[in-house]
């Protein structure tokens, strides 16, 4: 079989270290081989028909090769593609993505296309800066390098509507009651009822007051996301001039080029970059798009210092096993391939530092022990509703998170720690306690059944993969 008159199937091909590798799920209106050929052709040198301008050299040196296929049905399955390094503009991520995440989504005969993973070769990674501060730099700034306790953070709620005075009062209460970090939500920037600069000034002053009072360093991640790059530069300049240390970007909304540019600029001004991923799920869920792990790799390479990666136990999708894999991808240099989660072997270039993972979305203090199974101690334990919805109000909520983080650092189970910590006890009674044993068991079960789960996914396809990735192995949870 061939697509446009050329053969892209090369099942004996052994990928080179310098190749880009792509793993995709595809289903369509043709045999899998034809669909795979279409993907390879359209994303590299080919088109729908034979062309007089093609040469042997071009085809040999620049084409994508389908080096492995796993059939699920005649017209669906997993496709492994290898692209030669020379195919790409090696200083330009967007050119690479326009090939691999580009035209292929529009091919008529394709009904489902989920790009599950990409392996970027080391040579390509070398053009990216990686985080300037990342996990270790932020720990150093906050002063938790030795204790390794999780950082605690909050998103002031309601997301929008509070005035600068109200907003900064809430932030102050959080800072003085143990929080390291306060951030704007993804949809709060410079609305009329809460102008960006008014909010920044008040929060910054109150944060400094809280630092003096507690003797601890604090961070405020101010959301500067805007359609106008000049306004964003101005805000970064302003934060830096005032002595601020952190800035927040809605990275998915900004896109890769603006994220790259703004991270560089913020780092030049010595600001830590907090990345919110709002919008990622439009690509990641369903059967058309690309998996969040690809974004995570890119954002880490681009150099964000903190990144939302999901929780495994909160309100956003993501099974405990999948989120623990994302955690590894955020902090480790190397991760191994797990076909049932759609992962390839991957290794970051040595200069790309770990990014601080942010666990956020539907969290309260009672989920702390379960979270630590997934994230260890290196993460930002971040809550909105779980802080501001605590029965004792914002102060009680902030204290309950800090107490939970202290307990995790000391390896004391939350119910035990709660005996001497009132706010934590109230949080456990009100929100409930998620038993870490359930999470441990679920991850262990998935690890022990890896061969079986791989077989299931290779046999039944994306539906099973999505289930394992998004929901897990469905261990019934006690009510
Ligand atoms: C986030 O930015 O992750 C959300 O605003 C979290 O809010 P929540 O803790 O109330 O779910």
The per-residue pLDDT for 4 is 74
Q: Catalytic residue positions?
A: 157, 276
Same domain, yes or no: 282 and 397: yes
Q: Locate the ligand 1 atom nearest the alpha carbon of residue 308 and give its number.
A: 3
User: Probe ligand 1: pick from 314, 381, 382, 398, max atoms within 8 Å of CB?
Assistant: 382
pTM: 0.96
Q: Sort residue 57 into left (φ over 0), alpha (ψ -120 to 50) or beta.
A: alpha
Same domain, yes or no: 85 and 161: no
Same domain, yes or no: 69 and 157: no
In this structure, is residue 14 part of a structural domain? no
| Gap between the Cα atoms of 311 and 334, Å rounded | 21
Same domain, yes or no: 185 and 269: yes
Same domain, yes or no: 157 and 283: yes
In this structure, is residue 465 part of a structural domain? yes
User: Which of 60, 91, 125 is a domain's end point?
Assistant: 125
- 387 within ligand 1 shell (Cβ under 6 A): no
Same domain, yes or no: 49 and 179: no
The per-residue pLDDT for 3 is 76
Residue 237's domain is classified under what CATH number?
3.20.20.110
CA 157 – ligand 1 centroid, Å: 9
Q: Locate the ligand 1 atom nearest the alpha carbon of residue 388 and give its number.
A: 10
| Gap between the Cα atoms of 157 and 382, Å rounded | 12
Q: How many domains does the chain have?
A: 3
How confident is the model over 205-243, as pLDDT tens digits? 999 999 999 999 999 999 999 999 999 999 999 999 999
**Sign of the dihedral through C-alpha 226, 229, 231, 236:** positive
- 158 within ligand 1 shell (Cβ under 6 A): no
Give the β-pairing of 346-347 and 334-335. Answer: antiparallel
- Residue 436 · residue 369 · CB < 8 Å: yes
- Residue 64 · residue 10 · CB < 8 Å: no
Cα–Cα distances in angstroms (integers) from residue 304 to residues 351, 378, 477, in the given order: 14, 16, 35
| Gap between the Cα atoms of 279 and 252, Å rounded | 6
- 250 within ligand 1 shell (Cβ under 6 A): no
The per-residue pLDDT for 479 is 44
How confident is the model over 165-184, as pLDDT tens digits? 999 999 999 999 999 999 99
In this structure, is residue 210 part of a structural domain? yes
Residues of the chain with pLDDT under 70: 1-2, 474-479
Same domain, yes or no: 355 and 455: no
In this structure, is residue 30 part of a structural domain? yes
In this structure, is residue 167 part of a structural domain? yes
Q: Locate the ligand 1 atom nearest the alpha carbon of residue 362 and give its number.
A: 11
The per-residue pLDDT for 472 is 85
In this structure, is residue 87 part of a structural domain? yes
Give the β-pairing of 110-119 and 20-28. Answer: antiparallel
- 384 within ligand 1 shell (Cβ under 6 A): yes
Range of the domain at 109: 20-125
- 303 within ligand 1 shell (Cβ under 6 A): no
User: Which of 99, 125, 151 is a domain's end point?
Assistant: 125
Same domain, yes or no: 402 and 457: no
In this structure, is residue 3 part of a structural domain? no
Same domain, yes or no: 33 and 170: no
- 153 within ligand 1 shell (Cβ under 6 A): no
Listed residue (171, 53, 43, 158) closest to 107, CA to CA: 43
CA 358 – ligand 1 centroid, Å: 11
- Residue 273 · residue 305 · CB < 8 Å: yes
What are the strands of the beta sheet with 288-290, ordered from one edge? 65-73, 76-83, 20-28, 110-119, 288-290
How confident is the model over 363-378, as pLDDT tens digits? 999 999 999 999 999 9
Same domain, yes or no: 340 and 466: no
In this structure, is residue 1 part of a structural domain? no
Residue 73's domain is classified under what CATH number?
3.30.70.150
- Residue 418 · residue 424 · CB < 8 Å: yes
Same domain, yes or no: 63 and 144: no
User: Which of 125, 156, 183 is a domain's end point?
Assistant: 125
Same domain, yes or no: 224 and 83: no
The per-residue pLDDT for 473 is 75
């Amino acid at each position: 079989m061939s697509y446009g008159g050329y053969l892209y199937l090369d099942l004996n091909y052994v990928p080179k270290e310098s190749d880009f590798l792509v793993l995709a799920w595809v289903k369509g209106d043709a045999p899998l081989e034809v669909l795979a050929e279409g993907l390879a052709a359209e994303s590299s040198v080919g088109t729908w028909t034979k062309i007089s301008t093609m040469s042997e050299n071009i085809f040999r040196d620049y084409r994508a090769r389908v080096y492995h296929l796993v059939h699920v049905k005649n017209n669906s399955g997993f496709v492994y593609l290898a692209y030669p390094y020379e195919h790409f503009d090696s200083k330009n991520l967007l050119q690479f993505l326009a090939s691999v995440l580009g035209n292929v989504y529009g091919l008529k005969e394709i009904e489902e296309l989920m790009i599950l993973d990409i392996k970027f070769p080391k040579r390509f990674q070398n053009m990216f800066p990686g985080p300037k501060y990342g996990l270790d730099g932020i720990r150093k700034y906050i002063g938790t390098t030795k204790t390794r306790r999780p950082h605690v953070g909050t998103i002031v709620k309601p997301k929008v509507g509070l005035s600068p005075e109200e907003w900064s009062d809430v932030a102050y209460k959080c800072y003085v009651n143990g929080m390291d970090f306060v951030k704007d939500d993804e949809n709060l920037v410079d609305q009329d009822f809460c102008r960006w600069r008014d909010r920044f000034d008040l929060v910054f002053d109150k944060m400094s007051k809280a630092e003096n009072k507690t003797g601890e360093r604090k961070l405020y991640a101010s959301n500067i996301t805007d359609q106008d790059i000049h306004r964003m530069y101005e805000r970064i300049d302003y934060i830096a001039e005032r002595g601020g240390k952190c800035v927040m970007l809605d990275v998915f909304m900004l896109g890769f080029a603006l994220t790259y540019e703004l991270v560089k600029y913020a780092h030049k001004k010595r600001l830590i970059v907090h990345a919110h991923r709002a919008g990622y799920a439009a690509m990641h869920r369903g059967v058309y798009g690309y998996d969040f792990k690809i974004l995570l790799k890119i954002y880490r390479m681009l150099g964000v210092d903190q990144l939302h990666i999901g929780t495994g136990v909160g309100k956003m999708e993501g099974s405990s096993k999948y989120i623990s894999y994302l955690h590894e991808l955020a902090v480790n240099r190397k991760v191994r391939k797990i076909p049932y989660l759609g992962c390839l072997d991957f290794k970051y270039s040595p200069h790309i530092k770990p990014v601080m993972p942010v666990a956020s979305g539907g969290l309260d203090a009672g989920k702390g022990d379960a979270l630590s199974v997934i994230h260890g101690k290196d993460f930002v334990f971040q809550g909105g509703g779980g802080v501001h919805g605590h029965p004792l109000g914002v102060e009680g909520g902030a204290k309950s998170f800090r107490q939970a983080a202290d307990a995790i650092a000391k390896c004391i189970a939350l119910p035990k720690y709660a005996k001497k910590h009132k706010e934590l006890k109230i949080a456990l009674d009100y929100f409930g306690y998620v038993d870490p044993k359930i999470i441990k068991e679920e991850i262990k079960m998935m690890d022990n059944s890896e061969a079986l789960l791989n077989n299931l996914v290779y046999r039944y396809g994306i539906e099973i993969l999505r289930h394992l990735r998004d929901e897990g192995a469905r261990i019934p949870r006690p009510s």
